[in-house]
Amino acid sequence: GDRLGNILSLRNKGAHIIAGNGTYIRHGYMYASITGQVMAAVKDDDKSAESDGNNTWIVSIQQSQQQQPQSAYAKASTSICPQVGSVILGRVTRVVRPSYAVVDIIAIVHTESTNGQSSALKQQPYIIPFHEPFAGTLRQNEIRPQSAIELEISDCLRPGDVILARIHALGGEKEYILSTAETELGVVKATCESSGYDLVPVSYKEMECPVTKVKEGRKVAKPRAAA
């Protein structure tokens, strides 16, 4: 996406910047992941500090109504819709080497703190399925923490895998940009290509067939602690 500014230089001047809908921060710069109008607003709980000039600003992209991602179900019901920061359950439908995977977002995973980071996943979640799947994209550099461009995507996930992912940003083609970089995100269910049996996790990067003992590479989601 288009680069919006250098976050580190703004922070050195006393400004605090948070990425909102349609924006994300990488290597000290803020980028836009969708087209639209750039908007900046003072964070609600920070408005009392407006006089000292050290406000926390949320920068986001406002889309027109026609641009916003929607499924057929979302048109009829706006009460359940994925949001940036939400943890979702998805099914990988296609892997496009070497750059990205296409994911059907089939459910949202709620916890007591939906927009929290990985600590929220340690709480007991409950799943709300969608009537219609939403479109998601998992890019190569969002699969593992600090993943390099040389990472082989087929060693991390394959078509048919069920994954836990976090919505990182809104995409430009009515899709959601996903991330599995947190340890508790990644593949939670996969099938052995040779035997058809469900694979069993044996490490953070491998799963094993219980029958043939064949190992396959995956970005495995760390099991959540019981509540």
Q: Identify the weakest region by mean pLDDT among 29-33, 93-97, 111-115.
A: 111-115
pLDDT at 72: 40
Q: 105 pLDDT exceeds 90?
A: yes
pLDDT tens for residues 15-38? 677 777 777 777 677 777 777 777
pLDDT at 117: 46
pLDDT at 44: 64
Provide CB contacts within 8 A for 226, sequence distance 6+.
124
Q: Which residue from 186, 151, 147, 146 is spatially nearest to 165, judged by alpha carbons?
A: 186
What proportion of the chain, given as a percentage, has pLDDT over 70? 67
Query: Which has more confidence, 18 or 109?
Result: 109
Q: Dig out the tokens for 50 from the structure.
A: 């407006």
pLDDT tens for residues 161-220? 999 999 988 877 678 999 999 999 999 999 998 888 999 999 999 999 999 999 999 999
pLDDT at 194: 85
pLDDT at 17: 75
Q: Identify the weakest region by mean pLDDT among 39-43, 48-52, 70-74, 138-142.
A: 70-74
Q: 11 pLDDT exceeds 80?
A: no
Residue 93's Cα: distance from chain center in Å?
Answer: 16
Residue 133: which H helix or E strand, with range? strand 126-139
Give the separation between CA 47 and CA 56, rounded to whole angstroms.
9
pLDDT tens for residues 118-161? 444 445 567 888 888 899 999 888 888 765 556 788 889 999 99
| Mean confidence (pLDDT) of the chain | 76
pLDDT at 69: 53
Q: Dig out the tokens for 106 from the structure.
A: 């089939």
Q: DSSP letters of 70-94?
A: --HHHHH--SS---TT-EEEEEEEE
Query: Which has more confidence, 56 or 9?
Result: 56
pLDDT at 114: 42
